[in-house]
Amino acid sequence: MSKKIAFITTVNHNVGDDFVREGLKWLFREYFQSDKLKFTSIHKHVPATSYYGLENLRNLVWSERVEKYLPVISRIDRVMQSDILVQSGAPVFWYHPGYSDCVSGNEWYFPLIHRRFLKKRGGVLANIAAGTCQKYYSDGSEFLESDHIKNFIKEFHELSQVTTLRDSLSGSVHTKLGLDAPVIPCSSIFAINEHKVEQKPGEYVVVNYMHGGAHYNFGQDIDFEGWFNHFQKFYFELKKKEKHVIFSCHNLKEKEDAQKIDPNGEFFFSSRFEDYLKFYAKAKYGVMNRVHAGFILASLGKPAVIIGNDSRARMAEQIHVEDYFVNDVDSEVLLKEAERLDSERGEWLHKIQVIKSNSYERYMEAFSKFER
C-alpha cells in the first residue's frame, strides 16, 4: 500500500533532527512492510517549505509573508497531500515565563496544523518522540501554572492519532494532565538501521564540546568559564591516555569552540548526517554534550556519557546512558567517566540490542493505531 508520510522536522539544519527522522523512516517501513512509502520533509522553522518549490526558503519573515498569498491546496502542499503528518522527535513542550513557551514560541503549529491539517480531508496526525526542553532539574510543575500551555498539550494530544514521548518529564506532565502516552527511547537509535550502518572496531575516542553544555541556560547560572576549563583539562589528560581523540562538531560554531580548547586538535565536521553515522561507528566511546550524538554512539554499541544543562539531556535515562548537569561535573568526574566507558566497551552491544528490541516492540504497539 502506498502512503505519503510528511515529517515536521528540520532540513539541512540540525544533525540530531536528521537522526530522529531517519530512525522514524525505518520504523514506518517496518510497521507497514511496504516499499511504497513516500517520505517528504517540511522545515519546521520555515513552515512555507510545506509548499512544493519553496524547499530552499530559510527566512521565517518571508515564510509568513508567503503564507498570506498562496492558497492551501493539495496539489502544491506537502501537508495537504500527506496520509500521515508526523511531528518528528523534538522538544515540543517548554515553558519559560518571560522568555519563551511552546505556544507563543512555536512557529509551525498554527500554519501546519491549524491552517492546513485541520482543513484537509483524510489523513492522520502523529506526534512521535516528543520531548521537553526545561531546566535540567525540572519536575514539570511549571506547566500546570499556565492554562494556555495545558490547553496546547491537550489539544495536540487529542488531534494526534499516535503520541509517543521520549523523556520521563514529558510523561510526567502528560500524566498530571490526565493524558496517556507511552515514553519510549528516541527513534534516533534506529537511524543506523535505516542506513544499514554497523559497528566497527574502535579506532578513536570521540568528544563533543558545546559552550555552556547546550544551546540555552534558562536562568540556571551556568558556569560557562568553569565548563570550558574543566573540559579543556579533561581533554588534555585524556590525550595522554588515548592515542587518538577527535572532536565531533555538529555545526561550525562547535568547531570554532573546540578549536579554542585545542587549536591543533583533530575535528570532524560534515554537512551530511550520513557521514556522522559512519564516523561514530568507528569510535571506542564518547564524552558528549550533544544528546543525539550519545544516542547514535549507544545505538552502535559504543558507550557514551552525556553532559547537558536542560531536560533534553535526561532523555538519556531511557537507554541507560549516564547524564549529568554541566555545573555538577569537573575534569576529575569526566576522567572517571572515560575510564568507566572504556571498561564497558565489551558490554554495550548486548545492552543496546535488548533496549532496541524492547523499544521496537513498543513503537510497533503504538503504531498499531495507524491503519495498514
Cβ within 8 Å of residue 5, ≥6 positions away: 28, 37, 38, 39, 40, 82, 83, 84, 86
Among 158, 183, 208, the domain boundary falls at 183
pLDDT in tens, 275-291: 999 999 999 999 999 99
Query: CA-CA distance, 348 to 109, in Å (whole number)?
Result: 38
Q: Are residues 53 and 119 in the same domain?
A: yes
Q: Are residues 58 and 145 in the same domain?
A: yes
Domain annotation covers residue 131: yes
Q: Are residues 237 and 342 in the same domain?
A: yes
pLDDT in tens, 38-77: 999 999 999 999 999 999 999 999 999 998 888 888 889 9
What three-state secondary structure class fits 108? coil
Domain that holds residue 59: 3-183
22-30 mean pLDDT? 98
Q: Are residues 134 and 169 in the same domain?
A: yes
206-230 mean pLDDT? 95
Contact 14, 215 (CB under 8 A): no
pTM of the model: 0.96
Residue reference for cell 512509502: 37
Question: Is the torsion defined by CA of 340, 342, 344, 350 positive or negative?
Answer: positive
Q: Are residues 162 and 237 in the same domain?
A: no
Q: Are residues 157 and 243 in the same domain?
A: no
Query: CA-CA distance, 183 to 170, in Å (whole number)?
Result: 8
What three-state secondary structure class fits 303? coil
pLDDT in tens, 318-353: 999 999 999 999 999 999 999 999 999 999 999 999
Domain annotation covers residue 359: no
pLDDT in tens, 171-215: 999 999 999 999 999 999 999 999 999 999 999 999 999 999 998
Q: Which of 156, 68, 165, 161 is nearest to 113 (CA)?
A: 156
Query: CA-CA distance, 175 to 163, in Å (whole number)?
Result: 13
Confidence (pLDDT) at 231: 98
Q: Are residues 51 and 20 in the same domain?
A: yes
267-272 mean pLDDT? 97
Query: CA-CA distance, 280 to 204, in Å (whole number)?
Result: 9
Q: Are residues 97 and 206 in the same domain?
A: no
Residue reference for cell 559512519: 278
Among 183, 205, 239, the domain boundary falls at 183
Domain annotation covers residue 10: yes
Query: CA-CA distance, 167 to 307, in Å (whole number)?
Result: 16
Confidence (pLDDT) at 1: 64
Q: Which of 267, 242, 315, 259 is nearest to 90 (CA)?
A: 315
Cα distances from 147 to residues 26, 105, 108, 141, 270, in angstroms, run: 37, 16, 20, 13, 42
The C-alpha angle with vertex 153 and arms to 173 and 121, in degrees rounded to 5, equals: 145
Q: Give the residues across from 276 on adjacent strands.
A: none
Q: Are residues 151 and 114 in the same domain?
A: yes
Listed as own residue / partner, the contacts of 217-221 with beta carbons closer than 8 Å and 24 or more positions apart are: 217/309, 218/96, 218/99, 218/134, 218/135, 218/309, 218/310, 219/96, 219/99, 219/135, 220/135, 220/136, 220/309, 220/327, 221/327
Q: Give the residues across from 127 on adjacent strands.
A: 87, 163
Confidence (pLDDT) at 259: 98
Domain annotation covers residue 364: no
Domain annotation covers residue 100: yes
Domain annotation covers residue 366: no
Query: CA-CA distance, 306 to 308, in Å (whole number)?
Result: 6
Cα distances from 310 to residues 136, 223, 323, in angstroms, run: 4, 14, 11
239-252 mean pLDDT? 97
Query: CA-CA distance, 255 to 261, in Å (whole number)?
Result: 10
Domain annotation covers residue 239: yes
Q: Are residues 254 and 207 in the same domain?
A: yes
CATH of the domain at 77: 3.40.50
Q: How many structural domains compose the chain?
A: 2
Domain annotation covers residue 52: yes
Q: Are residues 203 and 349 in the same domain?
A: yes
CATH of the domain at 271: 3.40.50.2000
Among 159, 183, 207, the domain boundary falls at 183
Contact 131, 170 (CB under 8 A): yes
Q: Are residues 219 and 278 in the same domain?
A: yes
